[in-house]
Amino acid sequence: MATPAALPLSPAVRKFIVHWGEMGSSWGVNRTVAQIHALLYIAPRPLTAEEIAGTLSIARSNVSTSLRELQGWGIVRVAHVLGDRRDYFESMRDVWEMFRIILEERKRREVDPTLSVLRECVATIEKTRPADPEAKRRLGDLLEFMETMDSAYREFRMLSITDLRRFLKLRGGVRKVASLILSR
Amino acid sequence: MATPAALPLSPAVRKFIVHWGEMGSSWGVNRTVAQIHALLYIAPRPLTAEEIAGTLSIARSNVSTSLRELQGWGIVRVAHVLGDRRDYFESMRDVWEMFRIILEERKRREVDPTLSVLRECVATIEKTRPADPEAKRRLGDLLEFMETMDSAYREFRMLSITDLRRFLKLRGGVRKVASLILSR
DNA sequence: CGGTGGTTTCAGTATATTCTGAAAGCGGAG
DNA sequence: CTCCGCTTTCAGAATATACTGAAACCACCG
């Protein structure tokens, strides 16, 4: 009863795909989308939509939509094979780069809008009389926190992947930094 | 038709609560739970479950469940008023501390399990013959990435909130660090 | 004890999300 | 122009998630 185009997957790979799907769910990513991503990431070559559908037992149309979303995130792209009219899909392979892209995208879609909302709220409260000092303070704190995070992120973003990697891999590095920069 | 115990909320506060709820959704947190958290965070004093239900127009029982979840995360706790049998609930107020707690909790619930799964998968593949070199490499890369992130996180976690705050607030700090530590 | 004020549980309902299959779209080949 | 292989769209079906209200529970009080 297996769909014709199903790829053979080892148990380990199967397990990984399933887990990645669940992980996705709890991070607000559709399970199927995450599974497709996992499959493409681990596959040794680009796959057709048909193969993906067969392998994961999901409808062809569902694959189409999900692939579109993954392309929207910029971590999957189409490739072509000479003499073959079908679209082949492949995932970005560099994990660090992928991480960077996803982070950037989530910031853009979620953090940035929150920052504007917070700014608007604070502004509105300030215009109100009598201003509600409690609420103003709380929203202000939150806004300040997010702005600090935001600019710290912008700074880290400027590092090359290689430097970022080296930095994060330093053992005891953080403590060194702390004593170097923070003590005065 | 307003529920008796509804608190008066300014439009700005209202907007904040609604937005926070939506934010929650896209991060895998139930909208209602996020709204309650927002309300408690901004409220000038601890609130009863009744007040929360009234203010947000949700069922009393729903509030109960959601509060339990927030307590599970460790960012909301009960307080009591002398001579009043009811439970009052209040949110943690320090945004940085709250962030730290949420991060820790998500790591524990999501990153740690993923790390084990990846380790298991890699181990399984290694035992298989002939081992699938492609898959092994891909899973290995991912595992290495997550392990690096994990230990970097552990290091940062050792900083006091104050130091962390100072560190993230340094302008140009990252570049300084980069040249200090990375160049050799 | 039985009553009172409050909290929690849970089965059923409502809502939102995801998935499917059939139909429409698209572009090249003949 | 029409057929063919492939892709996308979309209305409705299936599923998962969130929410409600009624009932059970609990602890204290008289």
Are B139 and A11 an interchain contact pair (Cβ–Cβ within 8 Å)? no
Crossing angle of helices B133-158/B95-106, nearest 10°? Answer: 150
Task: Judge contact between A160 and B179, C-beta under 8 A.
Answer: no
Residue A150 pLDDT grade (very low, low, confident, very high; cuts 50, 70, 90)? very high
Cβ-nearest to A117 among B15, B93, B173 = B15
Per-residue 3-state assignment (H helix, E strand, C coil) for A80-127: CCCCCCCCEEEECCCHHHHHHHHHHHHHHHHHHHHHHHHHHHHHHHHH
Flag whether pLDDT at A180 surpasses 80: no
Query: CA–C1' span, B107 to C20, in Å?
Result: 35
Q: How far apart are CA B181 and CA A169, in angstroms?
A: 12
**CATH code matching the domain that covers A11-91, chosen among 2.60.40.10, 1.10.10.10, 3.30.300.30, 3.10.20.30:** 1.10.10.10
Q: How far apart are CA B135 and CA A91, in angstroms?
A: 14
Amino acid identity for residue A106 in this structure:
R
Task: Judge contact between B134 and B141, C-beta under 8 A.
Answer: no
Q: What is the pLDDT of residue B175?
A: 65
Give me the tens of pLDDT residue by residue for chain B, a chain 184 residues long.
Answer: 344 678 999 999 999 999 999 999 999 999 999 999 999 999 999 999 999 999 999 999 999 999 999 999 999 999 999 999 999 999 999 999 999 999 999 999 999 999 999 999 999 999 987 788 999 999 999 999 999 999 999 998 998 899 888 888 887 766 666 666 656 5
Query: CA–C1' span, A172 to D18, in Å?
Result: 45
Query: CA–C1' span, B66 to C6, in Å?
Result: 17
Residue A62 pLDDT grade (very low, low, confident, very high; cuts 50, 70, 90)? very high
Task: For residue A76, give the 3-state DSSP assignment.
Answer: strand
Q: What is the pLDDT of residue A47?
A: 97
Nearest-CA distance A7 → chain B (Å): 14
**Torsion angles phi and psi, residue B61, rounded to 5:** -65, -35
Any atom of strand C under 7 A from CB of B48? yes
Residue extents of the structural domains in chain A? 11-91, 95-174
Which of the residues B14, B16, B128, B167 would you substitute to probe the A interface, choosing the one with the greatest number of A C-beta atoms within 10 Å? B16
Q: How far apart are CA B43 and CA A138, in angstroms?
A: 9
Flag whether pLDDT at A7 surpasses 90: yes
Are B163 and A182 an interchain contact pair (Cβ–Cβ within 8 Å)? yes
Residues above pLDDT 70, as percent of chain A: 91
Please give the nucleotide, over all strands, whose C1' is closest to the CA of residue B35: D18
Q: What is the pLDDT of residue B68?
A: 97
Neighbouring CB atoms inside 10 A of B85's CB total 6
Q: What is the pLDDT of residue A170?
A: 80
Cβ-nearest to B163 among A124, A125, A178 = A178
Task: For residue A77, give the 3-state DSSP assignment.
Answer: strand
Q: Is A131 or B26 the better-scoring residue by pLDDT?
A: B26
Q: Select the highest-mean-pLDDT range: A97-106, A151-160, B121-130, B158-167.
A: A97-106
Peptide bond into A8 cis (omega under 30): no
Q: What is the pLDDT of residue B43?
A: 97
- Which residues share a beta bridge with A168? none
Task: Judge contact between A88 and A81, C-beta under 8 A.
Answer: yes
Cβ-nearest to A132 among B10, B132, B181 = B10
Cβ-based neighbours of B34, under 8 Å, separated by 6 or more: B20, B21, B23, B24, B25
